[in-house]
Amino acid sequence: MHAPVDTLDVLGPESRERLALEGLELRLEHVRALSILVVMRTLLIIGTDKGAFLARSDAARTAWTIEGPLFKGWRITAIGRDGGRTFLGVNSFVYGATIQASDDLAKWRQVDGPAYPKDGTRKLTQIWKVQPAGGALFAGVAEAGLFRSDDRGDTWKPVAGLNDHPTREKWMPGAGGLCAHAIVGDPTNPQRMWCGISAVGVFRTDDGGRTWQSKNRGVTVVLEDKTTRDIGYCVHGLAQDARDPNLIWRQDHKGMYRTRDGGDSWEKIERGLPSGFGFPLVREPRRRALYAVPLESDEFRMPPGGALRVYRSLDGGESWAPSGKGLPGEHAYDVVLRGALALDAQDPPGIYVGTTGGTVYASRDAGESWQALPFGAPRVVCLAAFTE
Amino acid sequence: MAHVTVRLPRLLAGLIGGALETTVEADTLAAALDTLIARHPELGVHLFDESGKFRGHVLCFHNEDNTRWLPSLERPVKSGDVITIMQAVTGG
């Protein structure tokens, strides 16, 4: 028995009309099959000071269930995914930092590395980023260094061209330590990649990681070195356009910047922002919107005016405006850390921010409105959203 | 060889299958720790830093003695001895 087409409200009138014009009869079983394909839910992994939590939405992204904590008592510093494998950077002030991997989010195993050489002077204190790029998987760590895995995270080797860069001995830490926290690949060129290190700057390789060049021209220096102008820049976050890999935005200690030439030159773009200072920055690929969370100056590091606001740019950073309603507009002094702003892949995109006060705010309409998840988390360090 | 009990803090229990203690056979403290790491390699990075020594905030006791004050871990152990790993965190 077939249901009449007009009782099936899963499609809008425009789609139904198009089907009719094409002489197609829509039957209930088609809709059921279709619904399996189109019903998407968001999995939000919330990395906190006391473990990781899994928040799963319903199809409308209005109701959420919470599981966890995974790695109770451990600080979750990075969340990454390569294919179906999920990686967590797991850290303890006492017991050090490792990467844990899982193919099903239930069973986890500690992978072999990354690690600095035994008896060396460098210590690996934190995993800051786990990111696929150029056909491999990369990990950015503190003390600042980059590691590469060619076996989906099972083993890691150092990227010597960056870790032993000619300027390396002059690298200085920022307030968050000396850390490689941003990794950006080039989907059109596996030989090219960018890495952001605080408080050193952005480096780019064009030869698959063998050599790296400082790419900070146009950015204000923070820690000026006496002998080289290549380092001393404090990049906080990088976001890349999905269509043009050379179009990259940079939330820097010294402001919001954009490059159109892969980092050869940077221009400041802050019109509409209450402050150029902040940490997280993401680019939504479908609508090509940018999202950032400005803070009042490096001295105070609080939401400007006590109002937590996610700023959005719909014109590539030419102008910025606070996104919609639902975020606390007064007496909000929690901040959103570098990794605690995430997007899902649905349409319209879901935007998620987690605060140091342990609240996670979600927008299911690209930032028009926000709701707090019914969940009091420990201090949120990082977030990642995946579609299930 | 002596049967020595090794006790771990709860944060590390997951690395030995969820138990808070295990038993190793060894003649010395160093050999007991080597045996522990050989059996549970994932523990190594959590107990020892890049210098090969205990991490700065990891404490190891042999019975009542803090091993930090021992001249060497080449200390004989006997059956019934207990090696206790715990964290040293000062302040708030």
Chain B residue closest to A124 (CA)? B50
Under an 8 A CB cutoff, do B50 and A120 touch?
A: yes
Q: What is the pLDDT of residue A38?
A: 65
Spatial neighbors of A232 by CB under 8 A, at least 6 apart, are A172, A199, A200, A201, A221, A222, A223, A224, A225
Residue B78 to chain A, least CA–CA distance (Å): 28
With 60 as the cut, is the pLDDT of residue A316 above it?
yes
Residue A110 to chain B, least CA–CA distance (Å): 7
Under an 8 A CB cutoff, do B87 and A94 touch?
A: yes
Among A93, A98, A122, the residue with its CB nearest the CB of B45 is A98
pLDDT band at A224 (very low <50, low <70, confident <90, very high): confident
Residue B55 to chain A, least CA–CA distance (Å): 7
Give a yes or no: residue B58 inside a domain. Answer: yes
Q: How much is the average pLDDT of A215-234?
A: 91
Give the dihedral of Cα atoms B38, B42, B45, B51; nearest 10 deg: 20
Q: For A305-325, b where at least 16 C-beta lie within 10 A, e where not — what string? A: eeebbbbbbbebbeebebbbe
Least confident of A17-31, A50-64, A317-331, A348-362: A17-31
Question: What is the distance between the alpha carbons of residues A26 and A387, in angstroms, rounded to a whole number?
Answer: 27
Give a yes or no: residue B82 inside a domain. Answer: yes
Q: What is the pLDDT of residue A35?
A: 47
- Tokens of residue B47, six digits: 């107990």
With 60 as the cut, is the pLDDT of residue A81 above it?
yes
Q: How much is the average pLDDT of A373-377?
A: 94
Segments making up each domain of chain A, as ranges? 1-39, 47-387
Under an 8 A CB cutoff, do B50 and A110 touch?
A: no
Chain B residue closest to A118 (CA)? B50
Question: A47-387: CATH homologous superfamily?
Answer: YVTN repeat-like/Quinoprotein amine dehydrogenase (2.130.10.10)
Q: Which residues pair with B65 in a beta bridge?
A: B62
Chain A residue closest to B85 (CA)? A95
Phi and psi of B62, rounded to 5°?
Answer: -105, 110
H-helix or E-strand containing A157? strand A157-158
Least confident of A39-43, A66-70, A76-80, B78-82: A39-43
Chain A residue closest to B86 (CA)? A94
Question: What percent of chain B is predicted at pLDDT more than 90?
Answer: 91
With 80 as the cut, is the pLDDT of residue B33 above it?
yes
3-state secondary structure of A330: coil
Under an 8 A CB cutoff, do A94 and B58 touch?
A: yes
* CATH number of the structural domain spanning residue B39: 3.10.20.30
- Tokens of residue A126, six digits: 């934190």
Give a yes or no: residue B14 inside a domain. Answer: yes
A125, A143 Cβ separation under 8 angstroms: yes
Q: Which residue has the higher pLDDT, A183 or A8?
A: A183
3-state secondary structure of B47: helix
Residue B87 to chain A, least CA–CA distance (Å): 7
Give a yes or no: residue B81 inside a domain. Answer: yes
Within 8 A of A99 by CB-CB distance, chain B residues are none
With 90 as the cut, is the pLDDT of residue A152 above it?
yes
Q: What is the pLDDT of residue A6?
A: 36
Closest listed residue to residue A336, CA positions, set A364, A368, A375, A377: A377
Q: Reduced to 3 DSSP states, what percent helix, strand and coil does chain A have, rounded to the nearest 5?
A: 10, 40, 50
3-state secondary structure of A30: helix
Under an 8 A CB cutoff, do B57 and A93 touch?
A: yes
Q: What is the pLDDT of residue A364?
A: 96
Output the average pLDDT for chain A: 92
Question: What is the distance between the alpha carbons of residues A334 and A372, in angstroms, rounded to a whole number?
Answer: 14
Length of chain A as a residue count: 388
Residue A247 to chain B, least CA–CA distance (Å): 39
The tally of domains found in chain B comes to 1
Question: What is the distance between the alpha carbons of residues A199 and A254, in angstroms, rounded to a whole number?
Answer: 11
The dihedral of CA B61, B65, B71, B77: what is its sign?
negative
- Tokens of residue A45, six digits: 């992994």
Within 8 A of A124 by CB-CB distance, chain B residues are 50
Q: How much is the average pLDDT of A62-89?
A: 97
pLDDT, one tens digit per residue, over A319-373 is 999 998 999 999 999 999 999 999 999 999 999 999 999 999 999 999 999 999 9
Within 8 A of A74 by CB-CB distance, chain B residues are 11
- A contact test, residue of B50, B53, B86, B89 with most A CBs within 10 A: B50
3-state secondary structure of B45: helix
Question: What is the distance between the alpha carbons of residues A225 and A231, in angstroms, rounded to a whole number?
Answer: 7
pLDDT, one tens digit per residue, over A109-132 is 999 999 999 988 999 999 999 999
Residue A355 half-sphere exposure toward CB, CA atoms < 13 A = 25
Give a yes or no: residue B92 inside a domain. Answer: no
Q: Residue with structure tokens 């606070």? A: A322
Size of interface A-B (CB pairs under 8 A): 46
Q: State the residue range of the domain holding B60.
A: 2-87
DSSP annotation of A206 = S
Among A74, A117, A119, the residue with its CB nearest the CB of B11 is A74
Q: What is the pLDDT of residue A2?
A: 37
With 90 as the cut, is the pLDDT of residue A22 above it?
no
Closest listed residue to residue A249, CA positions, set A230, A231, A228, A273: A273
DSSP annotation of A325 = B
Q: Residue with structure tokens 């390569």? A: A82
